Amino acid sequence: MTPEILYKSHNAIVIYKPPMMPSQSDTSGDKDALTLTSEQLKGMGEREELYLINRLDRVVSGLMIFARN
């Protein structure tokens, strides 16, 4: 599963995080929403640096916002 980018601007990105995916890296080593979104941006030729604004528990799906600057 990959997070879906719903909105993208110079300042922020809003994604849909699927359930059972960590918001950020943890000791499990599972791919996380922050890393996967950053990889998606890199694949589009865009700056991949993101900053976490909010987190969701692993079991929860929903919207997450990342700052871009």
Q: Encode pLDDT of 1-48 as tens digits.
A: 899 999 999 999 999 999 999 999 999 999 999 999 999 999 999 999
Q: Taking Cα atoms as reference points, which of 21, 20, 19, 3 lies closest to residue 65? A: 3
Q: What is the pLDDT of residue 1?
A: 84
pLDDT at 59 over 90: yes
Answer whether 32's CB lies under 8 Å from 24's CB. yes
Read off the pTM: 0.93
For residues 46-62, average pLDDT = 96
Is beta strand 51-52 parallel, antiparallel or unpaired with respect to 4-8?
Answer: unpaired
Phi, psi of 63 (to 5 degrees): -90, 140
Q: Half-sphere exposure (CA, 13 Å, Cβ side) for 57?
A: 2
